[in-house]
Amino acid sequence: MLHVQSKDNRRIGHRLHANAPIKVAIQGKHFWASLFQPKFNGTLADISVQGMQLSTNRLLATGTILKLWVQVEYKLKTYNLVLRGIVMWSKPGLEKGVYLAGLKLMDFSSPSMQIWAASTLDEIRDFEH
C-alpha cells in the first residue's frame, strides 16, 4: 500500500516520497516472456504521475523495460496494478547492495496506468491543500 508525503524537488511536475513494496520483473523482447521471468522485490522511493524511483538489490541497466506490480488505494478501493516502465537511470544507493533506478512509466492508455495516474494526482492534490 502506498503511503506518501510531499517531496521538494526541482523537477517539472510533482513527485511524492513513497515507501511501498513493489514486485519487479525484467521484460523480455516479447511481452509474454516476462510472465516467466522471476520476480524480485523493490521499494518505491518516490512517485509521480509519469514515473517512479525504486530501490532494489539489483543494478538495472538503462533502457531495460520492467513489469511492475504495485498496490494502490483509490476512491476507497484497493487496486493491484500491473504497470510497465523503462529504466531511465540507475546508480548505487547509499547502503551497500542497494541500487536506485528512475523509471518512466509506459502504456498511458492501459486501465492500470489510468488508475495509477488518477490516484497519484489525488495524492498530490491532498498535499497541496
In tens, the pLDDT along 15-47 reads: 778 788 899 988 865 555 555 677 899 999 898
How many structural domains is the chain composed of? 1
What integer pLDDT is reported at residue 2 of this predicted model?
Answer: 46
Average pLDDT, the chain: 83
Q: Give the structural domain span for 109.
A: 4-128
CA distances from 56 to 29, 45, 96, 128 (A): 22, 10, 11, 30
- Report the range of poorest mean pLDDT among 25-29, 61-65, 98-102, 115-119: 25-29
For residue 129, name the pLDDT band (cuts at 50, 70, 90).
Answer: low
pTM, full prediction: 0.81
- Report the range of poorest mean pLDDT among 29-38, 50-59, 63-72, 88-97: 29-38
pLDDT above 90 covers what percent of the chain? Answer: 53
For residue 126, name the pLDDT band (cuts at 50, 70, 90).
Answer: confident
Pairwise CA distance, residues 58 & 69, whole Å: 17
Pairwise CA distance, residues 52 & 87, whole Å: 10
Task: Provide the 10 A C-beta neighbour count for residue 18.
Answer: 23
Question: CATH number of the domain that 90 lies in?
Answer: 2.40.10.220
What integer pLDDT is reported at residue 32 of this predicted model?
Answer: 53
